[in-house]
Amino acid sequence: MLKIYLVRHGQTEWNVLRKIQGNKPVPLNETGRKQAEKLGKKLAGLDFSVIYSSPALRTLETAKIIAKYHKGVEIIEVPDLVERSFGEFEGKSREEIEKIPRIKEAWKKQGIDWKPPGGESIRELNRRVIKAFEKIAEKHKNNKNKILIVTHGGVFKIIILHLKNV
Q: Which residues are catalytic?
A: 9, 83
DSSP track, 113-142: G---TTS--HHHHHHHHHHHHHHHHHHTTT
Looking at residue 105, what is its pLDDT?
83
Q: Quote the distance between the C-alpha of residue 48 and its chain's center.
A: 19
pLDDT over threshold 90, residue 97: no
Predicted TM-score (pTM) of the model is 0.94
Where residue 145 falls (left for φ over 0; alpha for ψ -120 to 50; beta otherwise) is beta
Q: What is the pLDDT of residue 142?
A: 86
**Interval 24-33: pLDDT, tens:** 999 999 999 9
Question: 26 to each of 22, 43, 76, 97, 153, how far by Cα in Å?
Answer: 9, 25, 19, 19, 14
